[in-house]
Structure 1
Amino acid sequence: MSFSEWPVVFDCEGERLVGVITKPHEQTCKTGVLIVVGGPQYRAGSHRQFTLLARELAKFGVASLRFDYRGMGDSEGDKRSFTEINEDIRCAISEFFLQVPTLSAVTLWGLCDAASAALLYAKQDVRVSNLVLLNPWVHTEELASYTRLKHYYLTRFLSISFWRKLFSGGVRIHSSFQEFSSSLRRTFFPKSKSLLFDSSARSGNRSQVASNVGHTNFIEKMQVNLQQFRGNVLFILSGNDLVAAEFLTLKQKNLAWRKVLRRDNVDWHYVPDANHTFSSVAWRNEVALVTYEAVRKISFFNN
């Protein structure tokens, strides 16, 4: 299917944001995909990931808008955290509806901290019907240390090559021991409230949890927002990525997250060998296909 692309410049609290619309020809698009950009990226993405995703979706008959929020890429404004872009997302959705008037709903698509930003925003906007979240960012020192213990040190200790290097002098024992002990300390004696041992879930009072969530405690706020979101949610996770592994650790160890991730509107798709940004053609095409399938899906929560 052929498609058109055109740039857009739109206002967000007095500053100009830059984006690109990709729309299939001769197609009435009722739902579109807003590609939220995160990390040190801009609207093209690593290895042109977002550009290629938008064009692949257009071939399936789906319109999209990818944009730079304030302080990123070609957009105006000061640099800001992914926890501070709610208004940018709201303005981008409004511009998307203006540029493609046939839209009635939008899917938010995000990778890493953009996935977290999408989840922090979605429940407050009735125009958001679905979420597609790739390797969401839930990083804490404790989660990172536990994940490193499980996915890195355990693998190393069970590896024959590691012991060969150790006995041949190829491993720096002192520094390796310091790193290992540091991971143990951060895992079992965290400086802040633990996410691994269900400290917030034990209260059983979600409203109390929600009221106590500050702007820095984004992981709890993500969980609360996911509980309240009524649309479909698709998590796409890489098999060769520590960010995805940290999210799986949170899922396994935190009761509140386990409960919300069992909801009937939550689906999963794993790409076993993929790296963080799904950089191969095969991985990228797989992501585009499952995104399209998610966009087509209508949630019974919204019926």
Structure 2
Amino acid sequence: MIEQALLIDCDGTPMTAILAMPPVPASVGVVIVVGGPQTRVGSHRQFVLLARALAAAGVPCLRFDYRGMGDSSGEQRDFERVADDIGAAVASLRTRVPSIKHVVLWGLCDGATASAFYAAESAGVSGLVMLNPWVRTTAGEAAALVSNYYGKRFMSADFWRKLLSGEMDLLRRLREFVANWRSARARNVSDSEPSNSLPDRLGVSLARFGKPILLITSGNDFTAAEFLRAAESGYLSKGLARCQITRHAIEAANHTFSSAAWRADVENATSGWLNANFPD
């Protein structure tokens, strides 16, 4: 495996990238799309290790910094304005590895959502790996808090110790719970027309995409919990139903899969899914 440092032109602005290249590349290549204010390295070097693991398995993998992030020039932009950046990275991978037949986008958090938005409008993407996709809404966040956080807190010995010892402001906690419960109940999913909410827009994009997706979720993560709840109904549910979904849950994992065991689980799940869906 060889790592090559690249500069990718994106509308006249250079983006810094690293291509992990195996001696004999497979027919599928991966572009890692970062999430949040993140760089091509990833939290706890997650993207570096993933790219190397995939390349060791024969899959060329490109990771890059958006314009305005990390070592790339230009104006910083949010995940809904990075389609040109992703497109330039995909084009660069195809140019550098002309033998590949398929490109898969791999994204965590809002990188997963940005990948889906791009893939819905591009015929050049054959699959998505989406980890804990970002679909944040006020009501969705509240629902995740009510269903995931408060239940665990009420069952916690530490919660009752603080309550009985007077360390906790019970009235304030009750007000927070009631406010979140009301917000969660206010969630309104239309079955007739998609709203402008992030879950509905992601659902519409997935319906347009309609190709293989590996969905990896963490069991100890509010972002994953909010996504899974939103995916139970509405346009997000409909969009997922139009795709060929493979689900892989890592119940103990946190948002960024920060332990070596969780990272290895993600790497193995990704490699296995690529082999099953894009054999040479």
Cα deviation, residue 183, structure 1: 1.0
Q: Determine which of 221, 228, 238 is the counterpart of 1:259.
A: 238
Output the amino acid matched with 1:136: P
Partner of 1:250: 230
Return the offset for 1:269. 0.2
Match of 1:198 among 178, 189, 199: 189
Instruction: Check whether the contact 1:104–1:127 (CA below 8 A) recurs between aligned residues.
Output: no
- Aligned partner of 1:94 among 91, 94, 99: 91
1:4 equivalent in structure 2: 2
Where does residue 290 of structure 1 map in the other structure? Answer: 269
Task: Describe the superposition over 1:5-29 as per-residue Cα deviations: whole angstroms up to 9, x where unpaired.
Answer: 011101111111110000112x133
Aligned to 2:15: 17
Given residue 46 of structure 2, which amino acid in structure 1 is its aligned partner?
Q
1:133-190 CA-to-partner distances (Å, cap 9, x unmatched) read 000001111111111011111222234442332122121223312322321232234x
Q: Distance in 2 between matches of 1:230 and 1:183?
A: 34
Distance (whole Å) between structure 1 residues aligned to residue 41 and residue 25 of structure 2: 25
1:114 is aligned to 2:111:
yes
Match of 1:149 among 146, 150, 159: 146
Contact in 2 for aligned 1:34/1:106 (Cα 8 Å): yes
The two structures have a TM-score, normalised by structure 1, of: 0.87
2:272 aligned partner, one-letter code: E
In structure 1, distance between residues paired with 2:75 and 2:172: 39
With over 3 angstroms needed to count, the CA separation of the structure-2 counterparts of 1:14 and 1:277, relative to structure 1, is same
> Are 1:231 and 2:211 an aligned pair?
yes
Partner of 1:271: 250
Q: Which moves more between the two structures, 99-108 or 163-172?
A: 163-172
Q: Give 1:176's match in structure 2, choosing from 154, 173, 177.
A: 173
1:41-76 Cα offsets, whole Å, 9 max, x none, are 100101100000000001111000000111111111
Asked if the contact 1:5–1:21 (Cα under 8 Å) also holds between the matched residues in 2, the reply is yes
Describe the shift of the 1:187–1:55 C-alpha distance in structure 2 as closer, same or farther (beyond 3 A): same
CA distance in 1, matches of 2:275, 2:126: 10
Q: Distance in 1 between matches of 2:202 and 2:235?
A: 11
Cα distance in 1 for partners of 2:231, 2:155 equals 25
Q: Supply the AA of the counterpart residue of 1:36.
A: V
**For 1:9, what is the secondary structure of its paired residue?**
strand
SS at the partner of 1:187? helix
TM-score normalised by L of structure 2: 0.93
1:240-277 Cα distance to aligned partner (Å, 9 max, x none): 1111011111122x233233334461110001101111
Give the 3-state SS of the residue equivalent to 1:297 in structure 2. helix
Task: Answer yes or no: is 1:76 the counterpart of 2:76.
Answer: no
Mean alpha-carbon deviation: is it higher for 80-89 or for 170-179?
A: 170-179
For 2:254 and 2:156, locate their aligned partners in 1 and report how far apart those are by CA, in whole Å: 22
> Distance between the aligned counterparts of 1:84 and 1:129, measured in 2?
21
Residue 86 of structure 2 aligns to a residue in which SS?
helix
Q: CA RMSD in A?
A: 1.7
Distance 1:223 1:80 in 2: 23
Q: Report if the CA contact (8 A) 1:138-1:219 is conserved.
A: yes
Q: Is the 8 A contact 1:83 1:218 kept in 2?
A: no
- Preserved contact between residue 27 and residue 99 of structure 2 (Cα < 8 Å): yes
Contact 1:132 1:294 in 2 (8 A): no
Consecutive unaligned residues in structure 1, runs of 5 or more: none
Determine if contact 1:241/1:276 at 8 Å carries over to the other structure.
yes
CA distance in 2, matches of 1:46, 1:163: 34
SS of the counterpart of 2:237? helix
Cα deviation per residue 1:103-127 (whole Å; 9 max; x = unaligned)? 2210000000000000111122222
